[in-house]
Amino acid sequence: MPTSDEAQDLARYYWPTPNGYKATILLEELGLTYQLLPINITQGDQHTAAYVRQVPTRKIPALRHQNTEVEQVVFESGAILLYLAEWQGRFLPQDADLRWQCLQWLFWQVGGLGPMAGQAHHFRVYADVKDDYAIERYERECQKLYAVLEGQLQAKSFLAVPYSIADIADIAVLPWVYRHVRHGIDLADYPSVLNLYTELMARPAVATGFSVGEDLMLEGGFNSAAAKKSLF
Ligand SMILES: N[C@@H](CCC(=O)N[C@@H](CS)C(=O)NCC(=O)O)C(=O)O
């Protein structure tokens, strides 16, 4: 793991999506300089041989870190958050108990909230054929996941550590809650989630994180025939 005073040649393979936003928000919170390398997933950039050599999963986001000796490529949004947090020694508690609190919520996001909300988006918004069973199934899964989130936040008002010291679990959850309308969630039904969401959205680094590369989406949404061929 490089130390923070080593060369900071950081590049992001990026497209403005919920999984993409996570690392951008953390990079902005950390105040790190990085290069943005757009991977237009609506046009198939994720399938080019050059990209697949570095990122065999054919997904964004990925991070490339050229430090003085090695070039590290990290894919999977959760792994990227962990890499950056460990490298910089911030946003991941040192205390063992808090660290595990944070990691379990991080894994809950990458294994639960993200995939389920993603499927809800697919069947609600992008699928050419409206499948009521699939729509209801993923809407209900999202409702259950938001109820879990609400329960945790009602009990503690934060996921792992008090929000004023936001951690990578908060940063992982936020971009998905940002898309709550798309997965059929009304935040008025989850007041504690709404509170955390409002607090997080007020952070300047979060606002910058969401705005980085926002013009890229103008190049293509997920609803064109070409995008669907590349993505689905
Ligand atoms: N588990 C992965 C999921 C990444 C993912 O699904 N990325 C989407 C955009 S949000 C993607 O690259 N899709 C392109 C494709 O499926 O071809 C992570 O958390 O990084």
CA distance 125 to 161: 34
Type and span of the H or E element at 36: strand 35-38
Statement to judge: residues 173 and 116 lie in one domain: yes
CA distance 107 to 82: 11
- Map tokens 């237009």 to a residue: 40
**Contact 46 CB / ligand 1 (< 6 Å):** yes
CATH number of the structural domain spanning residue 14: 3.40.30.10
Query: Separation of 122 CA from ligand 1 center, angstroms?
Result: 13
Q: Whose CA is nearest to atom 16 of ligand 1?
A: 231
For 28, other C-beta atoms within 10 Å of its C-beta total: 20
In this prediction, residue 7 carries a pLDDT of 45
Statement to judge: residues 171 and 218 lie in one domain: no
**Contact 77 CB / ligand 1 (< 6 Å):** yes
Q: What is the pTM of this model?
A: 0.93
Type and span of the H or E element at 12: strand 9-14
CA distance 187 to 163: 19
Q: Which residues span the domain enclosing 218? A: 9-90+209-231
CA distance 56 to 50: 10
What is the residue type of 192?
S
What is the residue type of 6?
E
In this prediction, residue 216 carries a pLDDT of 85
Per-residue pLDDT of the chain (232 residues; tens, 9 = 90+): 444 444 469 999 999 999 999 999 999 999 999 999 999 999 999 999 999 999 999 999 999 998 778 899 999 999 999 999 999 999 999 999 889 999 999 999 999 999 999 999 999 999 999 999 999 999 999 999 999 999 999 988 677 766 555 799 999 999 999 999 999 999 999 999 999 999 999 999 999 999 998 888 766 578 888 888 888 8
Statement to judge: residues 26 and 81 lie in one domain: yes
In this prediction, residue 6 carries a pLDDT of 47
Query: Separation of 97 CA from ligand 1 center, angstroms?
Result: 30
Q: Is residue 3 part of a domain?
A: no
Q: Is residue 1 part of a domain?
A: no
Statement to judge: residues 125 and 193 lie in one domain: yes
Statement to judge: residues 190 and 227 lie in one domain: no
Q: Is residue 2 part of a domain?
A: no
Give the number of the atom of ligand 1 that is nearest the alpha carbon of residue 41. Answer: 14
Question: CA Rg, the chain, in Å?
Answer: 18
In this prediction, residue 8 carries a pLDDT of 62
Query: Separation of 152 CA from ligand 1 center, angstroms?
Result: 27
Statement to judge: residues 106 and 197 lie in one domain: yes
In this prediction, residue 162 carries a pLDDT of 62
In this prediction, residue 220 carries a pLDDT of 59
Q: Is residue 220 part of a domain?
A: yes
Task: Report the number of distinct structural domains present in the chain.
Answer: 2
Statement to judge: residues 125 and 153 lie in one domain: yes
